[in-house]
Chain A
Amino acid sequence: GDSVTQMEGPVTLSEEAFLTINCTYTATGYPSLFWYVQYPGEGLQLLLKATKADDKGSNKGFEATYRKETTSFHLEKGSVQVSDSAVYFCASDGGTSYGKLTFGQGTILTVHP
């Protein structure tokens, strides 16, 4: 079946550092890919998405490019802030019609001042 693998965490950075969180996927179809963010005590929120190869999703300074050749969707941000501290989840819908998501295990990001 479909799967999503995220880099093992947690990740600890200083404010203004560069962030990369790796995500790779396997799928039998043509999936759409997502990054969700979960702040402490809250549900998940969509951060960005990409629907086809070479698409770049972006939001709040975060970016991720859908790379079909490497089956990857790495999340990047040039300069992180303390407020970016959260858990980040990569997800794939496997190209299914009903939007069922397969999630990675999540990466805890902590940003220190």
Chain B
Amino acid sequence: NAGVTQTPKFRVLKTGQSMTLLCAQDMNHEYMYWYRQDPGMGLRLIHYSVGEGTTAKGEVPDGYNVSRLKKQNFLLGLESAAPSQTSVYFCASSYPRNVERGPGTQYFGPGTRLLVL
């Protein structure tokens, strides 16, 4: 199993350009998440999805859109990139909480480093 993979690994954008980050998981997880990591701030949740065709806003959703057309994929879009979106982006997936397993463990991808000039 590849686990969680992210494409691309690194990207440089100019202000105003658009791009899509792709996350794929092969663990059949229901839940998927996009986080951004900035120095001294830990990880902050951008958007998440609890199933195919569903998405919801996290803590810092402004400037981003997401789609979950297939269960295994979760796309993060930047329509008009800004320097404030320079960050490292992590995707994660997990199974739902249940009585036997407790809370789902989130499995993270390797990250995408994005620089917006």
> A45, B108: Cβ atoms under 8 Å?
yes
Q: In this assembly, does B104 line the interface, its C-beta being within 8 Å of a C-beta of chain A?
A: yes
Chain B 3-31 per-residue mask, 1 if CB under 8 angstroms from chain A, else 0: 01000000000000000000000000001
Size bracket, chain B contacts: 20 to 34
Q: How far, in angstroms, from A36 to B107 measured CA to CA in the complex?
A: 10
Q: In this assembly, does A112 line the interface, its C-beta being within 8 Å of a C-beta of chain B?
A: no
Q: Among the listed stretches A11-19, A64-72, A94-102, which one makes contact with chain B, having 4 or more residues with CB under 8 Å of it?
A: A94-102
Q: Which of A97, A104, A105 contacts B97 (CB 8 A)?
A: A97
Cβ–Cβ < 8 Å partners of B56 in chain A:
98
> B42, A89: Cβ atoms under 8 Å?
yes
Q: Which residues of B contact A (CB under 8 A)?
A: 4, 31, 33, 40-45, 48, 50, 56, 58-59, 90, 92, 94, 96-97, 102-111
> A98, B31: Cβ atoms under 8 Å?
yes
Cβ–Cβ < 8 Å partners of A104 in chain B:
42
- The interface residues of chain A, by DSSP majority, are classed as loop
Q: In this assembly, does A32 line the interface, its C-beta being within 8 Å of a C-beta of chain B?
A: yes
Cβ–Cβ < 8 Å partners of A103 in chain B:
42-44
Q: Which residues of A contact B (CB under 8 A)?
A: 4, 32, 36, 41-46, 49, 51, 89, 93, 97-106
20 inter-chain pairs at a CB distance below 8 angstroms, sorted by A residue, are A4-B42, A32-B102, A42-B110, A43-B90, A44-B43, A44-B90, A44-B92, A45-B108, A46-B105, A49-B105, A51-B103, A98-B48, A98-B56, A98-B96, A99-B97, A100-B33, A102-B59, A103-B44, A105-B40, A105-B42
Cβ–Cβ < 8 Å partners of B58 in chain A:
100
Known contacts A32-B102, A99-B31; A43 and B45 CB within 8 A of each other? no
Chain A: CB-nearest residue to B44: A103
Q: Which of B41, B107, B108 contacts A105 (CB 8 A)?
A: B41
Q: How far, in angstroms, from A43 to B3 measured CA to CA in the complex?
A: 12
